[in-house]
Amino acid sequence: MAKVWFVGAGPGDPDLITVKGRHLIEKADAILFAGSLVSETAMRWAKPDCQVMDSKGMDLEEIIAWLIAQAQDERTVIRLQTGDPGLYGALIEMVQPLDERGIDVGVVPGVSSAMASAAAGVESLTLPEVTQTVILTRVEGRTPMPEGESLPELAQHHCTLCLFLSITLLKKVQADLLDAGWSEDAPILVVHKASWPGEEKIIRGTLADIREKCRTEKINSQAMIIISPAMGSRHWPEIKKSKLYDKRFSHRFRKAAHKI
């Protein structure tokens, strides 16, 4: 039976695709990859006779038509997407037409650019007693935000914010975060093409100066914005440590050395 797999290629470095994703590429009969965001080097694992197509010039209807046309007989078809298919990946609008035609579908998760950007900056998105919540969101642009999900509303939580698809709206980001009570000297990390070999750029700044720094570096696409109360904690003189590794803390694999 034919099956269409939606595979997360990860943030950019081809080696960050999952083992399962790579194995599917190796046996695929047809691959439609998002060429504007996914490195073509990921195709190096494909069979010589695999039909490979770049979707960067295709609209949604053309993408769906291609997937349906390829999903014949016992063929394995892959839609290779950047990051994780479930995050800003238009997954459901591509799956529904396949469901209507009885075509089997599978999804392989991928490493998100949010995680790759935090890794590039050697930052933790959570820190004990500082922030335990991460919000993955975007700034309202052509796509409106649902009620209650505007950036000023979400930023009032003062937890970690990972902003996708928002680098061209940094002026609005600055204004919205200031409205939500963040200080002008709050540290911000911007990572352009996180994990892309030879192309990654890391820009550090504050809420006050990050826009100008990104303009100087000509960063206007494919960038993750992270603002967090845990930002820069690698260099703090003291942090609250996790209970998981505290010798006074018991769990099912280790008894506490001393009672708390």
Which tokens is 233 given? Answer: 């904690």
Which tokens is 118 given? Answer: 């935090």
Task: Write the class of the CATH domain 3-108.
Answer: alpha beta
Query: 127-136, 145-154, 235-244: lowest mean pLDDT where?
Result: 235-244
pLDDT in the model for residue 142: 82
pLDDT in the model for residue 236: 93
pLDDT at 257 over 80: no
Each residue's pLDDT tens digit, 198-220: 999 999 999 999 999 999 999 99
Cα–Cα distance, 119 to 117 (Å, whole number): 5
Cα–Cα distance, 51 to 28 (Å, whole number): 9
Cα–Cα distance, 184 to 256 (Å, whole number): 43
> Which residue from 48, 19, 43, 16 is spatially nearest to 31, judged by alpha carbons?
43
Query: 3-12, 138-147, 155-164, 247-256: lowest mean pLDDT where?
Result: 247-256
Cα–Cα distance, 190 to 241 (Å, whole number): 26
Domain ranges of the chain: 3-108, 113-235
Average pLDDT over residues 39-43: 83
> Which residue from 164, 173, 158, 160 is spatially nearest to 138, judged by alpha carbons?
164
Q: What is the mean pLDDT of the chain?
A: 93
The model's pTM is 0.91
- Give Cβ neighbours of residue 57 (< 8 Å, ≥ 6 apart): none
Four-way CATH pick for 113-235: 3.30.950.10, 3.40.190.10, 2.60.40.1220, 3.40.50.300: 3.30.950.10
pLDDT at 258 over 70: no
Query: Would strands 187-192 and 223-227 be described as parallel, antiparallel, or unpaired?
Result: antiparallel
67 near 79, Cβ under 8 Å? yes
pLDDT at 108 over 70: yes
Each residue's pLDDT tens digit, 43-56: 899 999 999 999 99
Share of the chain above pLDDT 90, in %: 83
